[in-house]
Chains A and B, each alone.
Chain A
Amino acid sequence: MRPVILAFSAAIAVLAIAAPTPAAHADSDQVVIGDIDDLSGVYADIIGPGGVDAMNMAISDFGGTVLGKKIVTLVADHLNKPDIGAAKFREWADQNGLNMVLGGSNTGVNIAMSKVAAEKKIPFISIGAAGASLTNKDCTAYTVHYAYDTTSLANGTASTIVKNGGKTWFYLTADYAFGTQLQNAASTVVKANGGKNVGAVRVPLGTADFSSFLLQAQGSGAEVLGLANAGADFSNSLKAANEFGITKTMHPAALLAFISDINGLGLPTAQGLYLTTGWYWDLNDDTRAFAKRFFDKRNREPTMTQAAYYSATMNYLKAVQAAGTTDPDKVMAVLKSTKINDMFAKGGYIRADGVMVHDMYVMQVKTPDESKYPWDYYKVIRTMRGEEAFGPITGLCPLAKP
């Protein structure tokens, strides 16, 4: 038995060592941008190394310097552990003269990082996390939630499906902060539109076989299978739903799916799915131009969150330029009073509670016949105005009164 116990300890020890950090010293001649994300785990395709490239593209397009100071970057892998994410943030703030952090995937880690942002007064642009609590009960004066959130996903996908006749819902929910927030948001939208929530099962993160849960979903008699999960969980639950013929009697709803997931599943499995996204590479000439540059680097089309990494970095640097300083309060004031107009968002703006309000798109995954070229995966069903997508100010964040 001893070797096994030792093995577990060894495994934990190895996993606890974060990726090395490039050296950068507290230096007023530099503007330091950090990226804390899942670089090697299940969410690595959603932003990951591609996000680092997108961030660097923005810095290089901006010219590499701002206010005469060199722009340097720090990158860390949070390994989906909130304590590691928060510790890296704090370390950089204390030792490396950190000016801004881009928050990658994982709601739990982002909530932990937002506490450090408030404590250290450092602008924190959360991009990969879905949980809307980042801009309500967990909001801070320095948090911006940039790309999408659970509210906008539910307002897009759930309301579209209810209006198309999918009235009764059963949820497969990832059993952590993100999954429950997503399920709650979807349930609220379903109910508000006259639908009914008949049940849910909370599935441990990283479950490989979903068939037991799917049989329970089928037994509920609901018309819609709400998948309140992400990444590999989403792919594996949808695959099993297809295999067990559950998609013949229930309509699956992807409450959060990225284009990297659809690419991994393939159109034969994913076709017909409704999903909501804040950005798609093939929307217009601007998005295609960015996508082409990104594709040349990574041989994949960018996800919405990778595009958001570029946009957030660029707009932060523009705000620093406009404010004439990296002072966090002054930069936040500029960010919150300037419209965002670029390839990511048209007429976007950052609300007092930190939500970056911008148009969201309800998409349907194309059939293999409809798809004409590589990565031609989505057709736009509906464009939601930002105000509709992100909803009114909730009042849960003390910074913003409804």
Chain B
Amino acid sequence: MTAIFGVPVVVILGQLTLGLVNGSFYALLSLGLAVIFGLLGVVNFAHGAFYMLGAYAAVLGLDWLGIDYWLALFLAPAVVALIGIAVERLLLRHLYKLDPLYGLLLTFGLAVMAEGSLLQFFGSSGQSYPVPPALQGALNLGFMYLPIYRAWVILASLAVCLTTWFVIERTRLGATLRAANENAPLVQAFGVNVPFIVTATFGGGVALAALAGVLSAPIIQVSPLMGSSLVIVVFAVVVIGGMGSILGSIVSGLALGVIEGFTKVIYPEASNIVVFAIMALVLVVRPAGLFGKG
């Protein structure tokens, strides 16, 4: 059997694939954070809670209303985005003039409240969500059996990530968004409704988190605390990619998923800290992040 550094190639390919699956989640989540930070300057600590709400929206939609997975992929992010929009309009909006720390504390507090409330209603052991029938089964890749659902996660999140990147970096709409961030009064003077754009952007970022939640529901146990540890990793990913960098968050999300996957083989005990070790290194060498400007 061929081996690289004593690790068989089939193992390397297997872990690479699994790393890409996890990286897809990191990319999708850090993308939403980067969009919100890049365009609004808000450090959204409730991102993990929105991710969790997305997963719960899918579970409850199925249990209570019989909404299937495919519909939930659209409906759950839409419902959670509405919650996000309410948060932005009613609460966050008043903090834009203050230090970013206030927005961060507000979103952190909201996250704790959301998690606590769901814990009260649904308990900590969580709920299961079935893999949709069309995506059940596994693909034989030669080096491993990859569940079809995991392959779908990679494809779906890559498609969403690239679309988001394209819209923001390559379209007129994206140009307006970025301009509104650079100089809101001027863009407003051109007749663009900037507060509306800000609200829509926040809703969009939140919808990305909720979409990641729906995508993860069939894979992991849906529980109120599922986002609380993930959000910290995702923040590290955003810092590594460069705060606010769209492409940076996508690339570093995927890369860190893969690096974490290899750590799980080489030295499993370190797999939960490897991302933070890299973050520390990046902050020392390139404080603005790998793709950041500054």
Residues of A within 8 A of B (CB): 1, 3-4, 6-8, 10-11, 14, 40-46, 48, 175, 201-204, 206-209, 211-213, 215-216, 219, 231-232, 235-236, 239-240, 243-245, 258, 260-261, 263-266, 268-269, 300
Contact = CB atoms under 8 A, between A and B. Distances in A.
A300 B265 contact: no
B145 A4 contact: no
Contacts of B272: 204, 206-207
Interface stretch (B164-172, B185-193, B201-209, B225-233): B225-233
B179 interface: no
Contacts of B112: 14
A1 B287 contact: yes
B176 interface: no
B18 A215 contact: yes
Q: Binding site of A, secondary structure by majority: helix, strand, loop or mixed?
A: helix
Given A204-B272, A243-B147, A212 B18 contact: yes
Contacts of A216: 264-265
Nearest to B100: A3
A173 to B, nearest CB: 10
A179 to B, nearest CB: 11
B123 A45 contact: yes
14 contacts: A4-B239, A7-B108, A10-B108, A40-B119, A212-B19, A212-B261, A212-B264, A216-B265, A231-B125, A232-B223, A239-B128, A239-B221, A258-B125, A268-B130
Contact of A261 (B125, B239, B287): B125
A245 B220 contact: no
Contact of B269 (A1, A42, A202, A209): A202
Contacts of B56: none
A201 to B, nearest CB: 5
B260 to A, nearest CB: 9
A212 B131 CA distance: 20
B91 interface: no
Contacts of A208: 220, 226, 229-230
Q: Which of B14, B235, B273 has the most C-beta atoms of chain A within 10 angstroms of its own C-beta?
A: B14
Given A7-B108, A212-B18, A231-B125, A264 B265 contact: no
Given A213-B268, A239-B220, A10 B126 contact: no
A6 B269 contact: no
Contacts of A240: 219
Contact of B268 (A42, A48, A202): A202
Interface string B1-39: 000000000010011001101100000000000000000
B124 interface: yes
A268 B11 CA distance: 30
B181 interface: no
Contact of B126 (A202, A204, A232): A232
Interface residues of B, number: 53
B239 A1 contact: yes
A10 B219 CA distance: 31
B138 interface: yes
B283 interface: yes
A269 B119 CA distance: 23
B91 to A, nearest CB: 17
A211 B108 contact: no
Nearest to A38: B124
Interface string B99-138: 0110011001000100010010001111110110000001
Given A232-B223, A261-B125, 16 more contacts: A1-B283, A3-B100, A3-B101, A6-B104, A8-B232, A41-B225, A45-B123, A204-B269, A206-B229, A209-B21, A212-B271, A215-B11, A232-B225, A244-B145, A258-B125, A264-B125
B227 to A, nearest CB: 10
B119 A44 contact: yes
B258 to A, nearest CB: 11
A232 B119 CA distance: 14
Interface string B238-276: 010001000000000000000001001100110111000
A216 B271 CA distance: 14
Given A4-B239, A208-B230, A243-B219, A44 B123 contact: yes
B134 to A, nearest CB: 15
B43 interface: yes
A45 B124 CA distance: 5
B291 interface: no
A44 B239 CA distance: 32
Given A1-B239, A1-B283, A245-B138, A212 B265 contact: yes
Contacts of B50: none
B149 interface: yes
B121 to A, nearest CB: 11
Given A3-B104, A4-B43, A45-B123, A213 B264 contact: yes
Contacts of A202: 268-269
Contacts of A260: 123, 125
A3 B243 CA distance: 11
A301 to B, nearest CB: 12
B249 to A, nearest CB: 14
A379 B182 CA distance: 65
Contact of A201 (B119, B229, B239, B268): B268
